[in-house]
Amino acid sequence: MGTYILKRVLWLIPVVFAVSAITFTLMHMVPGGPWSSERAVSPGVQAKINKQYGLDKPIPLQYVDWVVSLAQGDFGPSFRYADRSVNAIIADGLPKSIQLGVMAFIVAVALGIPLGVFAALGHNKAPDYAATGISIIGIATPSFVLAILLVVLFSVVLKWFPTGGWKGPETWVLPVIALAGYQVAVIARYTRASMLEVTRKDYIRTAQSKGLRSRAVVTRHMLRNALIPVVTILGPIFAFLVTGSFIIETFFGIPGIGRYYVQGIAGRDYGMIMATTVIFALAVAVLNVIVDVLYAFIDPRIRYS
């Protein structure tokens, strides 16, 4: 197990390199550059700026430069904000994005799994319909629609929460709910499907027939097995909540990196695109390793060699 984890962790390095190389290539295939604008810049000035930012070199060399600079912990300059380095922008925005994502993840798991279990235990009865109804509403409402509804109801009409910003707990509530809503439904559905699958296994019947209290059957036998497929989707869900919060960040005016990252694509801010991709990619890859290791702990039938 130890060597397996070590191997997987070492694999993170090539994974992140592959992601960064693909992104670098795609990024330079995009027509236009950071200096394309309506005002034409004279070729001399253009060449000078290109030289200053290293854009005059061949693209493979530019990539090598970027890797060397990254090895020293420097994401390089932002091509859009001349006065700020990418490092400074990331250091400012990343904690906010992580905080938003983690809070939404906690809400999604804390509501989604019990909802799914509740539905499965009362299969085809009132609890099932109630829990499924809630998760259907969650699935049918995109985060931006949920955000619009939440703001209209709780900010404009009831005036309970502010419409935006990121200045304290009362500003966190609406964005976290808007971001988590859909994932609550997804987790609940997966948990329900998985629980129903497990309910029909022989070992559950055995556990029940030997007179085990139903609470013990559910927690020790059903949940542990039913959570295996659920664990596999928690990784991508967490990644989605951290990296996919761009809509919510923009909607509520939260200064996280999600906003900078799509602005970076629009403005061909090469430094910003590379930095956000690598950070997000590293986060997702690390989560994958954690999920796979958890997998082996939860399901002893799976053996890694």
Task: Write out the binding residues for another protein, residues 217-256 only, by CB under 8 A.
Answer: 228-229, 232-233, 236, 239-240, 243-244, 246-247, 250
Residue 262 sits in the site that holds another protein (CB under 8 A):
yes
CB of residue 146 vs another protein: minimum separation in angstroms?
Answer: 10
Q: Which two tokens stand for residue 181?
A: 């809503």
* b/e 250-274 (16+ beta carbons within 10 angstroms → b): bbbebebbbbbbbbbeebbbbbbbb
Instruction: Choose one: 66-74, 95-103, 143-151, 212-220; the region binding another protein (CB under 8 A).
Output: 143-151
Residues 114-133 within binding reach of another protein (CB under 8 A): 124, 132
Q: Give 171 or 225: the residue with its C-beta nearer to another protein.
A: 225
Taking the least distance from each CB to another protein, the nearer of 17 and 48 is 17
Q: Which long-range contacts (CB under 8 A, 24 or more apart) does 12-18 make?
A: 12/282, 12/285, 12/286, 12/289, 15/281, 15/285, 16/278, 16/281, 16/282, 16/285, 17/67
Q: Which of 115, 121, 150, 186 binds another protein (CB under 8 A)?
A: 186
- φ, ψ dihedrals at 196, nearest 5°: -65, -40
Residue placing its CB nearer to another protein in the complex, 78 or 143: 143
- Is there binding between residue 277 and another protein (CB under 8 A)? yes
User: Is residue 165 within 8 Å of 253, Cβ to Cβ?
Assistant: yes
Please select the residue that binds another protein; options are 13, 26, 41, 45, rule is CB under 8 A: 26
Segment near another protein (CB under 8 A), from 34-42, 91-99, 171-179, 191-199? 191-199
Query: For another protein, which stretch binds (CB under 8 A), given 104-112, 167-175, 189-197, 209-217?
Result: 189-197
User: What's the closest the beta carbon of residue 15 comes to another protein, in angstroms?
Assistant: 5
Note whether 59 binds another protein by CB under 8 A. Answer: no
19 or 212: CB nearest another protein:
19
**Out of 49, 98, 130, 148, the residue judged to bind another protein by CB under 8 A:** 148
Contact flag: residue 2 with another protein (CB under 8 A): no
Minimum distance, C-beta of residue 106 to another protein, in the bound complex (Å): 21
Please report, as ranges, the residues that interact with another protein according to CB under 8 A. Answer: 11, 14-16, 18-19, 22-23, 26-27, 29-31, 124, 132, 136, 139-145, 148, 152, 156, 182, 186, 189-190, 193, 196-197, 200, 228-229, 232-233, 236, 239-240, 243-244, 246-247, 250, 261-262, 265, 273, 276-277, 280-282, 284-285, 288, 295, 299, 301-302, 304-305
